Amino acid sequence: MHGKLVLALLAAAAVAPGAQKPPEPNVLMITVDTLRADHLSCYGYYLRTSPNIDQLAAEGVRFADANTAIPLTGPSHISLLTSRYPQEHGARINGLSHNEQTKLLFLPQILRKFGYRTAAFISAWPLTSRLTHLDRWFDEYDEDLPRTYQMFNSQRWAEDVAPRAIRWLETNGNQRFFLWVHFFDPHEPYDLREPFADPERIGEPGPRAPEMNSEEARERVRRYDSEIGYADHWIGEILKTIDRLGLRENTLVVLLADHGESLGEHDYVGHGRQLYQPIVHIPLIFRYPARIPAGKVIQTEVSILDVAPTIIDMAIRPYHPDLHLPVKLGGRSLSQSLTGGPPPDEQLLRYVTFAGRKGWMPKLLIDLFVDFKGLPLKMGQRLGNRKVIWTPKKKDLEILNIARDPLELQPVKPPAGSPQYRAETARLRRWFERTAAAAGENRMTEKDIKVLKSLGYLQ
């Protein structure tokens, strides 16, 4: 009992002196598909593309060096919600769900157990319930996707999804909630949004790769930036609704991307097949006026796997200090750094991506094209400024210093078979095989299911 009292006092100490501990917060999580951090003005872009996101960052904490675990929409969001790498949860490409036999807890599943009403509004086919089975953890899973692109793929624009999320807030904002709103803009195809096509210039453009100087590349960037401004406008409408409903002080807002986008750098447009910085570097912003001081920027590198543990520590643990999750999370909590503590320690970042086919293809055909037993298409790791990218089938290893070479144009490439190549690739292989094997061993038994049901995590 004494220990519980000490923990409760420590939790209360996070609140301003003399103030009462705020009630359990609402959680609004906004994910923006394909949003590279360096095209947001609050991340130093020379155009004011994102005034509403900038304001959110000014009112909360911005992580300057957040990174995805995989640059694919479905697998990345499952990593976000489970705090596990793709080879652990099993969703390695778009179109496949997590392995149902693996011991996993999803963020909305945990919040639901503690009384949160949960809702999701998603905007693209890789997140549909048919493919991901994510709907089972939400009281409402809105996936009406009326628009098509690339012939077979469905989506909806920000103007389609934001009003629905706003109506849900107006109806459900009087009870504790976890609301996830997913925007597909600015994913390809990059539609030119005329009202946002010429944002204010607020600085000087940074260095760009030679292939980005063509007229075609400049127009592509202009369209992409206009999509950011368009999505930012509708994000602003949701945030205004939070204010209008009097929910601002006690709502934890988390904004991030699932991955970034290459706009022609390294002669590549897209995201799923490379691991360079424009693709793996993502925005990450937290705002919670009741507990998070405004205007802080944290430079330490963090991972998308850190988001779920942080939300749990901000939303649940202060009110349930004896919380013990029966399933392991892979990331770390950033809550102490958010609430006035020191920045987190430097950590080794890792990321992977897998070759695959479109999720609309029958699973039988996907199985023919995807090697689920072998190594990924690419895998990489980074500690500080030193970054390594390995393409196993091509026996290609790139060692980069992103401080001296921010455009990643001058890699050191040890020959295959050299001692350096063998040492670097052995480390990556051991990590991947260890985490993949752990997922294979970490299977749900009947006893596990009974325990999770008895604790309220399963219905």
pLDDT band of residue 448 (cuts 50, 70, 90) is low
Structure tokens at 161: 């999804």
Residues 232/42, Cβ–Cβ less than 8 Å: no
**Six token digits for residue 170:** 């107006």
Q: Tell me, what's the pLDDT at 54? A: 98
Q: Is 174 exposed, middle or buried (0-12, 13-18, 19+ CB in 10 A)?
A: exposed
pLDDT number for residue 360: 47
Question: DSSP letter string over 150-197?
Answer: TTTEEE--HHHHHHHHHHHHHHHTTS-EEEEEEE-TTSSS----GGGS
Whether 44 shows a pLDDT value over 70: the answer reads yes
- What is the value of pTM for the model shown? 0.90
**Does residue 190 carry a pLDDT above 90?**
yes
Q: Are the C-beta atoms of residues 112 and 140 closer than 8 Å to each other? A: no
pLDDT at 401: 98
- What is the token pair recorded at 171? 């109806």
- State the pairing for strand pair 386-391/396-401: antiparallel
> Quick one: pLDDT at residue 102?
82
Range of weakest confidence among 124-128, 236-240, 286-290:
124-128
Average the pLDDT over each of 2-16, 235-249, 365-379, 418-432 and give the range with the smallest value.
Answer: 2-16
Judged against a pLDDT cut of 70, whether residue 174 lies above it is answered with yes
**Which 3 state secondary structure label does DSSP give 365?**
helix
Residue 228 reports pLDDT greater than 80: yes
Q: How many Cβ atoms are within 10 Å of 271's Cβ, its own excluded?
A: 28
In this prediction, residue 354 carries a pLDDT of 93
pLDDT at 187 > cutoff 60: yes
As a whole number of angstroms, the longest Cα–Cα distance in the chain is 69
The pLDDT, as a whole number, for residue 387 is: 98
Residue pair 86/353 in contact by the 8 Å Cβ criterion:
no
Structural contact between residues 24 and 176, judged by C-beta atoms closer than 8 angstroms: yes
Average pLDDT, the chain: 89
Determine the 3-state secondary structure of 450 from DSSP. helix
pLDDT at 278 over 50: yes
Alpha helices of 303-383 — where are they, by DSSP H? 307-315, 335-338, 363-369
Distance of alpha carbon 197 from alpha carbon 34, whole angstroms: 18
> How far does Cα 15 stand from its chain's mean position?
28
Q: Which residue(s) pair with 177 in the sheet?
A: 117
What is the H or E stretch that residue 149 is in? strand 147-149
pLDDT class for 197, splitting at 50, 70, 90? very high
* Residue 389, phi then psi, degrees to nearest 5: -125, 130
DSSP-assigned letter for residue 201 = B
Q: How many Cβ atoms from other residues are within 10 Å of residue 414's Cβ?
A: 17
pLDDT at 5 over 50: no
Q: Spell out the domain ranges in the chain.
A: 24-338, 349-454
Task: Express each pLDDT in 84-131 by its tens digit.
Answer: 999 999 888 888 888 877 889 999 999 999 999 999 999 999 999 999
Q: What is the enclosing helix (H) or strand (E) of 352?
A: strand 349-353
Phi/psi of residue 51, nearest 5 degrees: -60, -35
Residue 307: name the closest of 286, 336, 278, 328 by CA.
Answer: 286
What is the pLDDT at residue 7?
33
Share of residues in the chain with pLDDT > 70 (%) = 86
CATH number at 24-338: 3.40.720.10
Query: Residue 218 CB: number of other CB atoms within 10 A?
Result: 14
Task: Report whether pLDDT(141) > 70.
Answer: yes
